[in-house]
Amino acid sequence: MALWREIREQGYPGTSRQVHRFVAERRTRPVRSGRKPRSAKASASEPPGSETLLPPARQLAWLLVQPTSVLNESEAAVVSRVEQDDTARAVTGLARRFTALVRAAGKGNPVADDRDAAADIEAWITKARTCEAPAIATFASGLEADIAAVRAALMEPWSSGQAEGQVNRLKLIKRQCYGRAGLNLLKRRMVLAA
């Protein structure tokens, strides 16, 4: 902000955000903050301002939970750039492991034994509760609070997908009627739509 005020006094018409963005692109040393600095190897090999932007949050989240074997070269480069931070590497590993547990259960490939599945999820929760990222630790605490339901979801072949789909369909029809539909009209629309 001090830099922006100084150059504004000299006649600069731009905003403080533009100055911040300009300085951030040309910064050669990490900002003094609570964040951990990038490794010296990464900053020495890249000239300032040459870093490519990270993809949007949803796309980045998708890349981080994918097995590394399915990523192409540019995607793997993005993931390795994110994993330069120790906390990000730990979060990525936990996310991949949790995704693998859920996918194995969802594909109908239950873990060899129910005790193994229970041990796997409990080991994951134990490791996640010690993670430096508060969001992961909170998520693990939430899973632990409802561990019986989590175990059942991972080990049982049943799914509530069919019921959830019908509820979603009912809500869609109700939204289309702008909330004015009574029970009789909703019944008729549900039966006639099926």
- The total of other beta-carbon atoms located within 10 Å of residue 180's CB is 7
The C-alpha atoms of residue 131 and residue 129 are separated, in whole angstroms, by 6
pLDDT digits (tens, 9 = 90+) for 146-186: 988 888 888 777 777 888 888 888 888 777 777 677 778 77
The C-alpha atoms of residue 34 and residue 37 are separated, in whole angstroms, by 9
The C-alpha atoms of residue 71 and residue 78 are separated, in whole angstroms, by 10
Sign of CA dihedral 49, 51, 56, 58: negative
pLDDT digits (tens, 9 = 90+) for 46-65: 555 445 678 888 988 899 88
Confidence (pLDDT) at 52: 61
**Which of 153, 126, 151 minimizes the C-alpha distance to 140?**
126
Confidence (pLDDT) at 51: 57
Q: pTM of the entire structure?
A: 0.57
- The pLDDT-based confidence of 95 (bands split at 50, 70, 90) is very high
Contacts of 94 (CB under 8 A, 6+ apart): 124, 127, 128, 131, 136
Domain residue extents for the chain: 77-155, 165-193
- The pLDDT-based confidence of 40 (bands split at 50, 70, 90) is very low
Confidence (pLDDT) at 169: 82
